[in-house]
Amino acid sequence: MIRLLLAALLFASPALAQRSGYDDASVQTRAMQDDDSANPGFLWVRHGEELWSQPTGTAGKSCANCHNAPDTLRNVAARYPAWDATLARPITLVQRINRCRESHQGTTALAPDNDIMLALSALVGLQSRGTKIVVANDGPLAPFLADGARLFRQRQGQLNLSCANCHDDRAGQRLGGSIIPEGHANGYPQYRLEWQGLGSFNRRLRSCLIGVRAEPYGPASAEAVAIELYLMQRAGGLTVETPSVRP
């Protein structure tokens, strides 16, 4: 009951106007994201297009066998993480793709930063590019959102910092010469110049936790899913930018 009341307080009113990480990026980085021919994330998108029609697993099925063209998944990424009635818990888009792989294709689940998963999640995410994020904040998701909000504000690690200390309290200020973003999860998987590659939300979260010298959450852990759920709901009103480009 306490978690439900907390969720109601946190999510009853519309969020204030947010700034995407795109808004805080340099002119050059924004130009890279805006030009599909220059955006390095499209290397993974093209790989995803190849994989889309390739049969795999014991069922010998491809993504196209069930979903036809990728654009049939328009707007899907804008509402994940979403409630899974079978599992009775929220799941991320990566987990949804893995459930399809295991249940319908008869093949193994993939880690979030496996190149195949990055390619497929980038392709699916691209179908929602420009779509406003609308993640439900009531019903069975409410206690999980409350958990995500609590974890976002919970101080952790040897540095005793929370996500909110940087991405709420000091957003727009500078750290090491770079602008601290608000930390919205509206562009994953994203190409980061510091990585020189595409990476998942889990990779970014792991980097932040290591940065404050805390123990990283497992990619499929309840904590990681709750934080991603909260951050996507917090980004409501922003648009999906997959594959985004960040410093």
- Decide: residue 189, CB within 10 A, 0-12 exposed, 13-18 middle, 19+ buried: buried
Q: Is 66 a catalytic residue?
A: no
Task: Give the SS3 label for residue 84.
Answer: strand
Task: Give the SS3 label for residue 72.
Answer: helix
Q: How many CB atoms lie within 10 A of CB 179?
A: 16
Cα 77–247–153 angle (5° rounding)?
A: 65
Write down the catalytic residue from 63, 163, 166, 208: 208
Give long-range contacts, CB 8 A cutoff, 24+ apart: 163-170.
Answer: 163/208, 163/227
Cis peptide before 181 (omega within 30 of 0): no
DSSP bridge partners of 190:
199, 244
Which residues are known to be catalytic? 208
